[in-house]
Amino acid sequence: MKKITIGFLLLFALSASTYAQDVKKVRTALTIAQLPGAGAQKLEPVKADIDKLAADPKTSANAEVLAMKAEIYGLIAADSSLKTKYPNADIEGFETLKKYLEVEPTEKTLKEDRYTGVNQIYASLFNSGVKLYNEKNWEAAFDKFKNVTELSDILISRKWSNTTFDTTSNLYAGVTAQNAKKEAEAAKYYGALANQKVRGQDYESLYEFLTKYYLNNKNEAEFKKYVALAKEVYPTNTLWNDLEFLYQTKNADVTTMVKTFDAEDAAGKLTSANYFDYGNLFVGDKKIRDMEAAKRAEYTQKGVYAFTKAYEKDTANALASYNVGVTNYAQWEEQLDAARQIKGTTADIKTKRAAADKLVDAAADKSLIWMERAFNSLAAKTTRTNLEKGTLGKSTDLLYNLYAYKKERSKVLNPKDYDRFDAKGKFYDNLHGKY
């Protein structure tokens, strides 16, 4: 029994000695391959040798073998001729690096080798990702940048790099994930950027993505977190308040919102933007639009009040004045249709028609006042947003219709006004299609 044991031990010792010699051989060849002018012809044979050791169960988990494989694959990824032949060298090198760090978390071997190949793996992954990004191959580009950011985190956490956060790689990862329709992944990388409070023109859209993403996913904690960050970094952007309001209205019934509005209005807490948002709620919310006409009319009046207050607090808010005008315009159309349904020649019918006509005239006059305020404010601007351009163009058409009505009514009410209303109508008609 002792002879068998001793024989086994001798055999194991011989085997271990052979493996040690193989590892030493690869290390020597790796050193030579890094000498100036060695080139791909020296590096490629080393790959074959390390692949054999990495495939052998007896040495596949050896720290030095794993370290050298990661180093060799990093050097291959940095060599243009070999990278073409072995396009996944950077990925395989990175995966091997992670395995090595599990086996030898002290990174002793890699440290002794001065972290050979690590920067080359990073550079290859990054450059490949940029190339795929430029080709608009979003899925493949994201796969690259996902690995880049993971490697970057290793570099930073182990203090292999002086950088504290890899902004560029996380931005690429977020953009490619978003374009690849991987919204959860995009939120992860954009969130990492937002947590660093990155700022500047190139980053504002990522805060918009995050706030809208968590709004739509009804994640209140994350939504509030990123709205707060967005307000801190981009305080002049009114979108954040709009999104807060939208989140609030999505998660509350109409009655609750009315009570909140009335309380905040009475307390003087509302800004022009707040009033504007409430106005849009009261005239445009689907739950309100689905109500019966009489109930819906109550909210319409509350919407007009809110838009009016928005304008009073900011007279440059042309959209607020337009919304007051267009809401009254809608009422004018409804009342005009109702008045036209009153037909007959009896005294009672004539009285009803006269009363109805007064309502129509009043709605038209109110609409004209506010529509012209909006038109004058927008027409005076030298630069306009797309929304403002559309609003200005629409206002000219509605003003023409209103003055056409006023012109016809002047024949009955006051013929002296006919020419004035006719001229006004022609003025706005000539502007059709200009804006």
In the numeric block, which tokens belong to residue 168?
């560029």
**Which of 52, 82, 116 is where one domain is finished?**
116
Which comes out higher in pLDDT, residue 8 or 105? Answer: 105
In a domain, residue 293? The reply is yes
What is the spatial distance between Cα 71 and Cα 47, in angstroms, rounded to a whole number? 10
- Do 389 and 362 sit in the same domain of this protein? yes
Q: Which of 116, 144, 179 is the last residue of a domain?
A: 116
Q: Which residue has the higher pLDDT, 247 or 395?
A: 395
* End-to-end Cα spacing for the chain: 102
Residues 383 and 432 in one domain: yes
Which residues neighbour 86 within 8 Å (Cβ) at sequence distance 6 or greater?
47, 73, 76, 77
pLDDT over 90 (residue 170)? yes
Read off the tokens for 80: 């243009």
Give yes or no: residues 257 and 321 share one domain.
Answer: no
Can you give the pTM of this predicted structure? 0.69
> What would the mean pLDDT of 96-119 be, rounded to a whole number?
95
Q: What does the CA dihedral 80, 86, 92, 93 come to, rounded to 10 degrees?
A: -30
pLDDT at 8 over 50: no
- In this structure, the answer to whether residues 366 and 268 fall within a common structural domain is no
Tell whether 3 is covered by a domain.
Answer: no
**Residue whose token pair is 């036209």:** 340
289 with 344, same domain?
Answer: no
Give yes or no: residues 50 and 89 share one domain.
yes
- Give every CB contact of residue 283 below 8 A, 6+ residues apart in sequence: 299, 300, 303, 304, 323, 327
CB 191 within 8 A of CB 207: no
Q: Tell me, what's the pLDDT at 20?
A: 66
Q: Are residues 301 and 375 in the same domain?
A: no
H-helix or E-strand spanning residue 384: none
Select the more confidently predicted residue: 95 or 287. Answer: 95
Same domain (yes/no): 434, 350: yes
Range of the domain at 257: 252-310
Burial 48-85 (b: 16+ CB within 10 A, else e): ebbeebbeeeebeebbbbbbbbbbbbbbbbbbeebbee
Query: Does the residue 23 lie in any domain?
Result: yes
**Average pLDDT in the 335-340 region?**
92
- Kindly state whether residues 25 and 45 are assigned to the same domain: yes
Domain membership of residue 256 (yes or no) is yes
| Residues 284, 356 share a domain | no
* pLDDT given for residue 174 in this prediction: 98
Please give the average per-residue pLDDT across 365-375, as a whole number: 95
Predicted pLDDT at 311? 93
Mean per-residue pLDDT for 24-46? 73
In sequence order, which residues have a C-beta less than 8 Å from that of residue 60 and are 6 or more positions away? Answer: 53, 54
Using CB atoms within 10 Å of the CB of residue 352, give its burial: 0 to 12 exposed, 13 to 18 middle, 19+ buried.
middle
Q: Where in 343-396 does DSSP place strands (E)?
A: none
* Number of domains comprising the chain: 3
Q: Has residue 13 got a pLDDT over 60?
A: no
Q: Is residue 224 part of a domain?
A: no
- My answer on whether 329 and 401 are in the same domain is yes
What would the two tokens of residue 25 be? 């051989």
- 369 within some domain: yes
Contact 190, 210 (CB under 8 A): yes
pLDDT at 12: 44
Tokens (6 digits) for 110: 């890699």
Q: Which of 14-23, 45-54, 149-158 has the highest mean pLDDT?
A: 149-158
Interval 283-315: pLDDT, tens: 888 888 888 888 888 899 999 999 999 999 999
Q: Pick from 69, 95, 116: which residue ends a domain? A: 116
With respect to residue 286, please indicate whether it lies within any of the assigned structural domains.
yes
Say if residue 421 is in the same domain as residue 305: no
CA distance 56 to 28: 20
User: pLDDT tier at 17 (50, 70, 90 boundaries)?
Assistant: low
> Per the domain annotation, does 137 fall within a domain?
no
